[in-house]
């Protein structure tokens, strides 16, 4: 599945380099137009990141989010600074099909486990951003990649899998925004080890060959942001590759 993605700050479509707010590039003032275009080309799922909410949950762009969902027939999964059950509930109430949960899933797994039980595995996506060291150890980063946790991806999955975890968005941080291809071996390894999970690959997509590679990796979906914004290819072409 192809899942086009938009990151928003102040209602504008932006990209941050390696998660750095100081290195921001603005692509559009009209996220709805982009979502409409993605839908017209066949996208049935869209990914939205509220970077204002990620930085400070009090600044969540809830009105913008509600308007996008109201005017978009495709399913939308939304993340960015989800830290409390109230955050989860407000996004689901706004019409989000799934809520994407990142740092708090690493910092407070028992809390997030209660949300998984309460809302069910189809409503929750864990976003695990991975740093891989020279020895191949896969540690999960938090706080917009500014901090490295001591949790491995395996130790986190051991907590959530017994509760029915189904959707995980996994990013190799070193690949994000580079347009130089995804970490195919990572998704091959994860999909073989955890076939019960629907893996969403993220980071590094730069051309159609990259999409074909992910399609054969065992991942069930790929998140595409910058490549679409910079017209490397369009959604329709990406779907044909998948």
Instruction: Give the SS3 label for residue 71.
Output: coil
Among 7, 50, 52, 87, the active-site one is 7
3-state secondary structure of 169: strand
Q: Rounded distance, CA 134 to CA 95, Å? A: 42
Count other Cβ atoms within 10 Å, centred on residue 112.
25
In order of 33, 85, 155, the CA distances from 63 in angstroms are 17, 19, 37
Is position 158 annotated as part of the catalytic site?
no
Q: Catalytic: 133?
A: no
Q: Which of 129, 172, 176, 210 is an active site residue?
A: 129
CA neighbor of 218 nearest in space, from 192, 241, 240, 181: 192
Classify burial at 149, counting beta carbons within 10 Å of its beta carbon; exposed 0-12, middle 13-18, buried 19 or more.
Answer: middle
**Catalytically annotated residues:** 7, 129
């Amino acid at each position: 599945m192809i899942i086009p993605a938009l990151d928003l700050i102040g209602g504008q479509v932006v990209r941050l380099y390696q998660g750095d707010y100081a290195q921001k590039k603005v692509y559009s003032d009209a996220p709805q137009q982009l979502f409409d275009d993605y839908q017209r080309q066949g996208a049935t799922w869209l990914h939205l990141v509220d970077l204002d909410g990620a930085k400070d949950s009090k600044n969540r762009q809830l009105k913008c989010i509600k308007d996008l969902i109201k005017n978009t027939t495709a399913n939308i999964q939304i993340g960015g600074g989800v830290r409390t059950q109230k955050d989860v509930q407000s996004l689901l109430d706004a019409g989000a099909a799934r809520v994407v949960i990142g740092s708090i899933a690493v910092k407070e797994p028992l809390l997030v486990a209660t949300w998984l039980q309460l809302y069910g595995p189809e409503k929750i996506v864990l976003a695990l951003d991975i740093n891989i060291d020279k020895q191949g150890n896969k540690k999960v980063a938090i706080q917009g990649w500014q901090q490295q946790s001591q949790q491995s991806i395996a130790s986190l999955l051991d907590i959530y899998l017994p509760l029915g975890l189904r959707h995980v968005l996994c990013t190799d941080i070193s690949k994000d925004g580079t347009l130089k291809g995804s970490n195919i071996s990572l998704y091959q390894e994860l999909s073989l080890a955890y076939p019960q999970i629907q893996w969403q690959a993220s980071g590094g997509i730069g051309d159609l060959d990259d999409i074909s590679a992910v399609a054969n990796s065992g991942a069930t979906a790929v998140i595409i942001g910058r490549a679409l914004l910079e017209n490397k290819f369009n959604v329709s072409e990406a779907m044909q590759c998948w």
